[in-house]
């Protein structure tokens, strides 16, 4: 595939200083690695990844809680990606119990209807892209034996936290196309830093990089949209309203991060009956285990997967040590997959 | 889990469900989050249409998504 040669050419003309751009989306990392985007951009430009995958940023305590539910006899329904993510003791793949892979919440509700004498819990992870699907389901009165373990996270609060730390020394952000498809991009105007919404074709990403480089060169800091085919300024308002009807922001921990204010979601009181954490009195343990995994630094844009001593050695997709090697959207997994081929 | 794929609405059924076409595969998805008509394109994520798309976008992007996700799936089963 001819990789946006014109754009790459233009990019090399515009970039004349060291620039670090962060993306916050696992699908972007997958596209960047697959098409070798890093090899066609000027050497001064570095693309680092942020906390872009909802699986990678789910803290171990929440994985442990999901495993506990299975051990206590619930039918646990989860996206396949979460299966191998290691908790502190075991994973959903290895725990003793009834764990079922579902494509989405609709199937989990169906399972609850078919098993009225069992408790069925859906492990509800995902960013703003996914949240409305959960909200839309909860307002349709799922059965009483159904509940969800709420593990949702929101992108802007994490970006805000990262910028406040200033540790990753970032000059701009590629904004996540599908999060913005739902949310629009007005929220991001609070950040006084160059930002461009990008799609998932290599040309989309290169175009976004070029727009960022131009903003940086001109000393501007605005939010631009390089993915107008899908993303509008307002986003999907119907979906946003449903989210607000069902959820309210809450302070939560991210794997590799401390508690970030208002970066998660909690069910509103009217929907509390569906909250598995309350229903089963689950306590999320804060776990800081030392196993050499540097996912926390990778998720903050401070290290590359290949900086990890375990990368490709003790840690592979088959025997993952950290979550970033598990998920399709995980940085280590993606690097492992594509560097093997090169 | 983060897959979002363009699909065409073939038929609207009862209970906020539509039959959509991904190219080779047809599937029922929920349409609670969008107002759509038959023949329109949507972006489908975890069994829900999450946004409407223009027809050209739908057709164009469908091929690319297929490629990327196929590569991911293959790696998973390797
Ligand atoms: S949820 Fe959306 S933004 Fe996040 S990694 Fe998946 S596709 Fe990207
Ligand atoms: S290679 Fe494995 S151990 Fe190292 S940071 Fe990535 S997931 Fe963690």
Q: Which atom of ligand 1 is nearest to the CA of A128?
A: 1
Neighbours of A313 (CB within 10 A): 9
Give the residue from A28, A101, A184, A298 showing the smallest Cα distance to B1. Answer: A101
Q: Give the pLDDT of residue B69.
A: 57
Q: pLDDT, tens digit, for every residue of A69-116?
A: 999 999 999 999 899 888 888 999 999 999 999 999 999 999 999 999
Answer for the pair A275, A143: CB distance below 8 angstroms, yes or no. no
Mean pLDDT of A213-233: 93
Rounded Cα distance, A321 and A338, in Å: 19
Rounded Cα distance, B36 and B51, in Å: 9
Which residue in the block uniquely carries the two structure tokens 């994490």?
A: A158
Task: Calculate how far, in angstroms, residue A105's C-alpha sits from the geometric centre of ligand 2.
Answer: 29
Give the best residue of A106, A142, A148 to mutate against chain B (max B CB count within 10 A).
A106
pTM given for the model: 0.88
Give the residue from A303, A315, A317, A252 showing the smallest Cα distance to A59. Answer: A252
Q: pLDDT, tens digit, for every residue of A1-15?
A: 455 678 888 898 999
> What's B4-77's CATH class?
mainly beta
Rounded Cα distance, A177 and B50, in Å: 12
Domains of chain A plus CATH, in order, are 60-153+236-279 (3.40.50.11740)
3-state secondary structure of A73: coil
Helices (H), chain A: 5-14, 26-34, 37-40, 60-71, 105-114, 131-138, 155-165, 177-183, 202-217, 237-246, 276-279, 295-299, 331-341
Closest CB from A34, A105, A238 relative to B33: A238
Mean pLDDT of B42-48: 95
- The three-state DSSP-derived secondary structure of chain B is CCCEEEEEEEEEECCCEEEEECCCCEEEEECCCCCCCCCCEEEEECCEEEEEECHHHHHHHHHHHHHHHHHHHHHHHC
Q: Nearest residue on chain B to A25, judged by CA atoms? A: B2
Q: pLDDT band at residue A162, thresholds of 50, 70 and 90?
A: confident
Least confident range of A2-6, A258-262, A314-318, B45-49: A2-6
Q: pLDDT, tens digit, for every residue of A34-52?
A: 888 988 999 999 998 888 8
Closest CB from A82, A106, A132 relative to B50: A132
Q: Which atom of ligand 1 is nearest to the CA of A176?
A: 3
Could you tell me how many CB contacts below 8 A there are between chain A and chain B? 101
Give the residue from B14, B17, B16, B5 showing the smallest Cα distance to B51. Answer: B5
Q: Give the pLDDT of residue B60.
A: 63
Q: Give the pLDDT of residue A166.
A: 77
Q: pLDDT band at residue A289, thresholds of 50, 70 and 90?
A: low
Mean pLDDT of B51-63: 72
The structural domains of chain B, with segments of one domain joined by +, span 4-77
Q: Which atom of ligand 1 is nearest to the CA of B3?
A: 7
B74 touches chain A (CB under 8 A): no
Mean pLDDT of A184-206: 93
3-state secondary structure of A234: coil
Q: Taking CB atoms and an 8 Å limit, are B64 and A200 in contact across chains?
A: yes
- Residue by residue, DSSP assigns A245-302 as HHEEEEEEE-TTS-EEEEEEEEE-GGGGGGBHHHHTT--PPP----SS--HHHHHTTS
Q: Give the pLDDT of residue A9.
A: 86
Mean pLDDT of A149-178: 91
Rounded Cα distance, A257 and B61, in Å: 34
Q: Higher confidence at residue A49 or residue B18?
A: B18
Q: Give the pLDDT of residue A45.
A: 94
Answer for the pair A257, A158: CB distance below 8 angstroms, yes or no. yes
Mean pLDDT of A166-170: 78
Mean pLDDT of A292-305: 87
Ligand 2: residues with CB < 6 A are A 293-295, 298, 305, 308, 310-311, 315, 321-322, 324-325, 332
Which residue in the block uniquely carries the two structure tokens 């990262």?
A: A162
Rounded Cα distance, A12 and A87, in Å: 44
* High-pLDDT (> 90) share of chain A, %: 65
3-state secondary structure of A77: strand
Mean pLDDT of A144-159: 96
Choose the most confident range, by mean pLDDT, from A19-33, A240-254, B52-66.
Answer: A240-254
Which DSSP letter does residue A118 get? Answer: S
């Amino acid at each position: 595939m001819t990789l946006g040669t014109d754009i790459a050419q233009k990019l090399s003309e515009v970039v004349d200083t060291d620039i670090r751009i962060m993306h916050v989306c696992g699908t972007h990392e997958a596209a960047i690695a697959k098409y070798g985007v890093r090899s066609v951009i000027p050497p001064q430009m570095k693309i680092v990844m942020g906390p872009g995958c909802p699986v990678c940023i789910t803290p171990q305590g929440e994985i442990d809680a999901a495993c506990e539910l299975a051990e206590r006899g619930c039918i646990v329904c989860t996206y396949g990606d979460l299966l191998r993510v290691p908790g502190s003791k075991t994973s959903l793949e290895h725990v003793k119990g009834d764990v079922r892979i579902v494509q989405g919440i609709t199937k989990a509700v169906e399972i609850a209807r078919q098993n009225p004498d069992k408790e069925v819990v859906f492990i509800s992870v995902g960013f703003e892209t996914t949240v409305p699907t959960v909200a839309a389901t909860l307002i349709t009165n799922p059965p009483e034996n159904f509940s969800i373990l709420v593990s949702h996270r929101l992108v802007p609060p994490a970006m805000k936290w990262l910028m406040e730390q200033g540790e990753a020394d970032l000059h701009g952000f590629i904004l996540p196309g599908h999060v913005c498809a739902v949310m629009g991009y007005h929220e991001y105007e609070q950040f006084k830093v160059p930002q461009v919404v990008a799609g998932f074709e290599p040309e989309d990403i290169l175009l976004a990089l070029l727009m960022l480089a131009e903003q940086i060169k001109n000393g501007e800091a605005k939010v631009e949209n390089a993915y107008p085919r899908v993303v509008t300024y307002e986003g999907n308002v119907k979906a946003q309203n449903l989210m607000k009807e069902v959820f309210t922001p809450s302070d939560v921990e991210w794997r590799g991060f401390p508690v970030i204010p208002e970066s998660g979601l909690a069910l509103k009181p009217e929907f509390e009956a569906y909250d598995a954490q309350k229903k089963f009195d689950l306590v999320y343990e804060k776990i800081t285990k030392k196993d050499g995994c540097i996912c926390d630094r990778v998720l903050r844009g401070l290290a590359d997967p290949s900086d990890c001593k375990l990368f490709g050695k003790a840690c592979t997709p088959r025997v993952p040590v950290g979550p970033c090697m598990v998920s399709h959207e995980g940085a280590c997994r993606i690097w492992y997959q594509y560097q093997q081929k090169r | 889990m983060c897959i979002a794929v363009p699909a065409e609405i073939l038929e609207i059924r009862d209970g906020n469900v539509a039959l959509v076409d991904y190219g080779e595969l047809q599937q029922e998805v929920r349409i609670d989050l969008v107002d759509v008509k038959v023949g329109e394109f949507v972006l489908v994520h975890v069994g829900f249409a999450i946004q409407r798309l223009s027809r050209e976008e739908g057709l164009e992007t469908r091929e690319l998504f297929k490629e990327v996700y196929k590569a991911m799936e293959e790696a998973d089963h390797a």
